[in-house]
Amino acid sequence: MTMKCSPINELKLFITGAKRLTTKSFYQDLNSGEEIGFSDGSLPENTPTVEQLESYLLHFRKFIQKNDRVYFGLVNQYVNELAIHQAAFLDEWNMLYKAFEELIKAEALTDRVITHVPDIPDLSLLDLFRARTFGDLSHLDFKKQLLHQKLSSTSQLDALYRFEYYTFLSEAGEVIAEMADLCARLLNSLNNQV
């Protein structure tokens, strides 16, 4: 027997998850207002550490994995169910949801191609995004290991790779935070109706 989750409780869980995500030091560093300096090694860098990235990414994946309770597609269903009679709110929500959906599809990255890496075919930034976000760089797949090594083989390419990826993650975190704010607003409006 499976128990049906309460949409209200699931939105509360989403809001809590979004707060946890945006309090991660990776997100805080990128959104502090201080200039983040990526470098090819010729200058010092002030970027988040690998540990900060991995901690953020581990939490971020929950929002894009279909089997997680805070998966953005499920949250969308709950919002649409709870706000069925709030057309203006749903318009605002759907605009933000669509923006996140397009960001996750990363379609804007398909036209941006890296062509100057010896021994590997041209790669779009979408390829890089998927490899990093969805864990395609499996330790069991030698070709993917080699690809990752090649992408990190030159300091200039590594700096570009990290800059693009960190920017994407920061933007995605901002949209998740905005979605959580809307969810909180929806829950507040439902409490006021009772």
Look at residue 26 and tell me if it is in a domain.
yes
Is 74 inside a domain boundary? yes
* Per-residue pLDDT, 137: 45
pTM (predicted TM-score): 0.80
End-to-end CA gap in the chain: 31
Torsion (CA) 176, 33, 106, 122 in degrees, nearest 10: -150
Whether the CB-CB separation of 158 and 152 falls below 8 Å is answered with yes
Q: Which burial class, exposed, middle or buried, applies to 9 when counting CB atoms under 10 A from its CB (0-12, 13-18, 19+)?
A: exposed
Q: What percent of the chain has pLDDT over 90?
A: 39
> Does residue 41 surpass a pLDDT of 80?
no
Residue 163 lies in a domain: yes
Q: Is 1 inside any structural domain?
A: no
Using one digit for the tens of pLDDT, what is the confidence trace for 151-160?
A: 666 666 666 6
Confidence of residue 39 (pLDDT cuts 50, 70, 90): low
Identify the pLDDT of residue 2: 47
Phi first, then psi: give them for residue 124, nearest 5 degrees: -85, 160
Task: Identify the three-state secondary structure at position 55.
Answer: helix
**Does some domain include residue 84?**
yes
* Three-class SS state of 135: coil
| Helical residues (DSSP H) of the chain, grouped into ranges | 7-22, 25-30, 50-60, 72-82, 87-105, 125-133, 142-151, 155-193
Residue range of the domain that includes 179: 7-193
Whether residue 41 lies inside any domain: the answer is yes
Task: Say if 2 falls within a structural domain.
Answer: no
Instruction: Convert the pLDDT of each residue in 138-176 to its tens digit.
Output: 555 666 666 666 666 666 666 667 777 788 888 899 999
pLDDT 10s digits, 60-82: 989 988 889 999 999 999 999 99
Q: How many domains does the chain have?
A: 1
Amino acid at 119: D
